[in-house]
Structure 1
Amino acid sequence: MAESFDVVVVGSGASGLTAALSAAARGRTVLVLEKAPVFGGTSVVSGGSIWAPANKYAAKVGARDDREDALAYLRALTLDRVPEELLVRYVDTVNPMLDFLEGETGLEFTPNMEHPDYQPGLAGARSGGRTIQVGLYDSKRLGETRTDLRRTHSTVPITKHELDEWGMDTLDRWDWALIAERTKNHVVGMGAALIGELLEACLRHGVKVRTAAPARELVREGDRVVGVVADGPDGPERIAARLGVVLASGGFEWNETYVDRFLGVPMRAAGSPPANEGDGLRMAMSVGAALGNMTEAWWCPMLDVVGDTYDGKPLHRTTSGIRTLPGSLIVNRRGRRFVNEAMNYNDFGKALAHFDPVSYEYENLPCWLVFDAKYRASYSVGTLTPDAPKPDWVFEAATLAELARAIGVDEAGLADEVARFNENAAKGVDPDFHRGESTYDRYRGDRNNQPHRNLGPLGDGPYFAVELHLGCIGTKGGPVVDRDGQVLDASERPLPGLYACGNVAASVFGPAYPGAGATLGAGMTMGYAIGQAI
């Protein structure tokens, strides 16, 4: 083979870079191969949060949490679909992983004491403190590599704490002068800040990193994986990995064939970079890896801003805030509500994927966010700020009846639903779907709206509607791994020399999404464990 390293990592998101750093800090030679022309993967476009139960940062400000409550919460959430040893491994390793990163990088973590777990009503859940956040990062510290850091598609150089304080759906109230100053000075925030710190630490430890170098296949000697074939400047190159290959190449959400074959639902609105086409999954299958969790994704209802693109593909935006605000509701083609609009995005997505075997259709697709004139004047919807002219992707009508006809929704159904919703919302209640009752709902609402953050009747017209789509921020199925991240074969035996972490692997959380930062937390914790094991 042309080159040889102890470890070859496929993918440069937070999971892959944590694995690389974990191995390099223990004296191993490491190469990171990135398919795209820029580093960072899906992690760059994330909020940069990590879900860490019983962490020391929350404990320092008086929060009470413990290991057993965290495990009880995860057991309830994962529906007996995840081996106990993997849940224990996560809870017992996530905080040592954070300690390791504190020692090896400039990362400084702070707890979000207001961000609840995603199912706050389950035993063992917490109303805040388990989600931790990163600060800002001066990308000039990367030197010439700075220009290879992936640009975010919709975030700006702010922290998650600032986003909460300013309001994620009140863009007109943000400190744009401060944001402009940071941008001019190449300061980045959230997911980009996390990747910047990890990449800088990897480079300091001598990790070799290459962009535009997609891995094509795994190389085996006998039953052991001993390297990869990757694209190089002069064609395919065989690169040896003496101790192991780590797959950290993201999910398969942009591979329409794999989506149809494995997810089995009409998911066509991926919110990740388009490079996530299942390369790692394909390579794992080619060497006989066992697969798990293949029907699951980190689900999310998405908004399409017509004309917005990212890496040459349509840009789909998350809707965590706009669904929760007073003066709005979400209906299906019958004009009926079908879920608590303010619930966490992962479980909301499952409602969109519901198939009615009687009518033989996905009964909640398409669906529409309907809102009134006050909402339009108060909040931003995607790129539409209150003072901006209405674009073509937003429907407007003087009456609800006209709006129903314009978007193809049952007119009588919408009228009845709005009437019932308004009567209850005026009282600050939602007996049908309990919107606004949980701490998670209220976290996402408008704290300035009284008497209720999430509920308010639809008032005078004109009325507006935008379509929401079934999407995800990544898939979460792939090769099954053991507690050290080693890939297992169809007989549940380790495949020597092959490891996987992040969205390319079967998620430690199975069908569940415990809280903000669980995606990064799962991948980075397993990446750290892989570095230890290698």
Structure 2
Amino acid sequence: MPETDVIIIGSGAAGLTAALTAAGADLEVTVLEKSGLIGGTSAVSGGSIWAPVNRWLLKQGGHDSREDALAYLEAITLGNGDPDLLVAFTDNVNPMLEFVVKHTGIEFEVNPDHPDYQPHLPGAHTGGRTIQGGLFDSSQLPEPLRDRLRKSSSGVPITRLEVDTWGMDTLENWDWTLLADRMSKGIVGMGSALIGELLHGAVQRGAVVRTAAPARELVRDTAGRVCGVAVDGESGTRDILHARRGVVLASGGFEWNPDFVQRFLGRPMVAPASPPANTGDGLAMSIAIGAGLGNMSEAWWGPMIQPTGDSYDNAPLFRPTSSLRTLPGGLIVNARGRRFVNEAMNYNDMAKALANFDPVAYSYPNQPCWLVFDERFRKSYSVATCTPDSPTPNWMATASTLAELARTVGIDPDGLEHQVREFNSHAVRGEDPEFHRGESVYDTYRGDARVIPNRTLRPLEEGPYYAVPLLLGCLGTKGGPLTDASGQVIDIWGTPIPGLFACGNVAASAFGTGYPGAGATLAAGMTFGYLAGQALAAS
């Protein structure tokens, strides 16, 4: 039967970092990817990495410290994070980055203005912990891998810093001639570029990547050590691939498995924004051999919008609203017509308000909810795929008055009119005494700098008025098998399972319920992939 030193299940940034690390130690590595495309959730991400005390920040004269990072992680996890994992992340995220830079062509830049997601907490920083890569020329990849590199839903070859400069919600200002030229040359950006760099580095060091190769079962020897994987072949057969050193689970979350979502999340999450191959295969395989589980009710939450007809990999496409919600001239209300959250706060924590449960009404009062905005907003900003000069699509409700709009979508008309009057009475002065929108450094990272005195809010003005529903979604789940500080999976009794490691969204997140900042998902996945690769090399 075929053998290799290390099997990596999943081809996202976590798995490819593990593959790069193991291959860099002269191990024979095979990466198994369930779908026909390489990159998983990482490829459709912004490609940012959250790295405290990174050298790109320090080189620009910024300051940070290990003590600040650990204090912030303690606070953002509400004291419920595993201290060993938080220390392992903090002490190894930068060695991981140095390794990646050395063994790939990636060049990082610091984003000095992007704040941590909860900038008021102890140890938080107002910028510089998020770093971002550039573009990648996919023609560097050997055939057929270059055609199997997963692109974002838009396929636009742009960098994260360009998006910030050109405006996420002003698509008409983008340099589409430049972007078209890049696209014609096979250049990709953001998450696809990160994956391309990692894939190129791993393959150059001998790693083999198999696509359309779903892993179905972990194989153990008589001593209980994980020593291989059962893989479905293209002909319908099931083959066993043996691993001399071990197996790394890096297969993503379970957000596209309705049964698992209902069983574990316990919240009405209906809008996953990841590729639909994330159905919890790694979770199921780890449960089958007795892995301990953690963080199963948590995800990287986000409020999503779904333009009718949008699809990706033959499944509905749900789009994040990170910038859209922060723009002046709009507000978010529930069916009572009431606001319930600071619209400009980070997507993970804002989305938790969508999942609030009212024990008296015995319902989720903030689902459904809508972003309501005026004509000036409509003519100023893009809403998902709808630009200011394009016809109003059927998924965007519109009416000449607020009351008529409310009746159209199912909002209480009196409630909405009262809320807008109340909101406007404060917004005219740039104030939000109820939810403090626009007061934190995170809020003002986005918004519209042309609007003063508060770039995130202004009164709703003349109609017509518009409404689009916001859905409770996620970028991926963050619960799964528990691991130790090297990424090795531990069983329900706390004992390491020989030969089995896990990293990325398949594993119980080191950050627990928290989300430290932009790029924290990739940072943790890649760091523990790096540690798993090191441990396998040393075994």
TM (norm. structure 1) is 0.99
Amino acid at match of 1:285: I
Amino acid at match of 1:327: G
Distance apart, 1:455 and its partner CA: 1.1
Please say if 1:136 is aligned against 2:135. yes
Q: Aligned partners of 2:82 and 2:63: how far apart in 1?
A: 26
Amino acid at match of 2:233: G
Once the two structures are superposed, residues 406-449 of structure 1 have per-residue CA deviations (whole angstroms, 9 ceiling, x without a partner) of 11111111111101111111101100000000111111111222
- Aligned residue for 2:7? 8
Q: How does 1:383-394 map onto structure 2 within 5 Å?
A: 383-394=385-396
Contact 1:45–1:154 (CA<8 Å) still a contact in 2?
Answer: no
Match of 1:300 among 302, 305, 309: 302
Contact 2:429–2:453 (CA<8 Å) still a contact in 1?
Answer: no
Once the two structures are superposed, residues 211-270 of structure 1 have per-residue CA deviations (whole angstroms, 9 ceiling, x without a partner) of 000001000113111100001234211000111100000000000000000001111100
Q: Aligned partners of 2:126 and 2:449: how far apart in 1?
A: 16
Q: Unmatched 5+ residue regions in structure 2? A: none
Q: Aligned partners of 2:499 and 2:100: how far apart in 1?
A: 25
Contact 2:32–2:211 (CA<8 Å) still a contact in 1?
Answer: yes
Once the two structures are superposed, residues 97-145 of structure 1 have per-residue CA deviations (whole angstroms, 9 ceiling, x without a partner) of 0000111000111100110000011111111100000000100000312
Please say if 1:219 is aligned against 2:214. no
Distance apart, 1:188 and its partner CA: 0.4
Distance apart, 1:322 and its partner CA: 0.7
Secondary structure of residue in 1 paired with 2:388: coil
Distance apart, 1:155 and its partner CA: 5.0
Secondary structure of residue in 2 paired with 1:183: helix
Secondary structure of residue in 1 paired with 2:267: coil
Contact 2:430–2:452 (CA<8 Å) still a contact in 1?
Answer: no
Secondary structure of residue in 1 paired with 2:142: helix
- Aligned residue for 1:382? 384
Distance apart, 1:80 and its partner CA: 1.9
Once the two structures are superposed, residues 372-422 of structure 1 have per-residue CA deviations (whole angstroms, 9 ceiling, x without a partner) of 000000000000000000111000000001011111111111111101111
Q: Aligned partners of 1:249 and 1:287: how far apart in 2?
A: 16
Q: How does 1:149-168 map onto structure 2 within 5 Å?
A: 149-154=149-154, 156-168=156-168
Q: Unmatched 5+ residue regions in structure 1? A: none
Contact 1:45–1:155 (CA<8 Å) still a contact in 2?
Answer: no
Please say if 1:228 is aligned against 2:229. yes
Q: Aligned partners of 1:345 and 1:210: how far apart in 2?
A: 34
Match of 2:292 among 284, 290, 293: 290
- Aligned residue for 1:185? 185
Q: How does 1:413-428 map onto structure 2 within 5 Å?
A: 413-428=415-430
Distance apart, 1:152 and its partner CA: 1.3
- Aligned residue for 1:502? 504
Distance apart, 1:349 and its partner CA: 1.1
Amino acid at match of 2:252: G
Secondary structure of residue in 1 paired with 2:307: strand
Q: Aligned partners of 1:30 and 1:155: how far apart in 2?
A: 29
Once the two structures are superposed, residues 274-314 of structure 1 have per-residue CA deviations (whole angstroms, 9 ceiling, x without a partner) of 00000000000000000000000000000001001111110
- Aligned residue for 1:200? 200
Secondary structure of residue in 2 paired with 1:298: strand
- Aligned residue for 2:119? 120
Amino acid at match of 2:107: E
Q: Aligned partners of 1:288 and 1:496: how far apart in 2?
A: 12
Contact 2:431–2:454 (CA<8 Å) still a contact in 1?
Answer: no
Amino acid at match of 1:228: V
Q: How does 1:371-520 map onto structure 2 within 5 Å?
A: 371-520=373-522
Match of 1:339 among 331, 338, 341: 341
- Aligned residue for 2:357? 355
Q: Aligned partners of 1:453 and 1:179: how far apart in 2?
A: 29
Q: Aligned partners of 2:151 and 2:209: how far apart in 1?
A: 18
TM (norm. structure 2) is 0.98
Question: Sequence identity of aligned pairs in percent?
Answer: 62
Amino acid at match of 1:375: F
Higher alpha-carbon deviation: 153-162 or 423-432: 153-162
Q: Aligned partners of 2:485 and 2:238: how far apart in 1?
A: 33
Once the two structures are superposed, residues 142-198 of structure 1 have per-residue CA deviations (whole angstroms, 9 ceiling, x without a partner) of 031210111211351111111000000000111111111101111100000000000
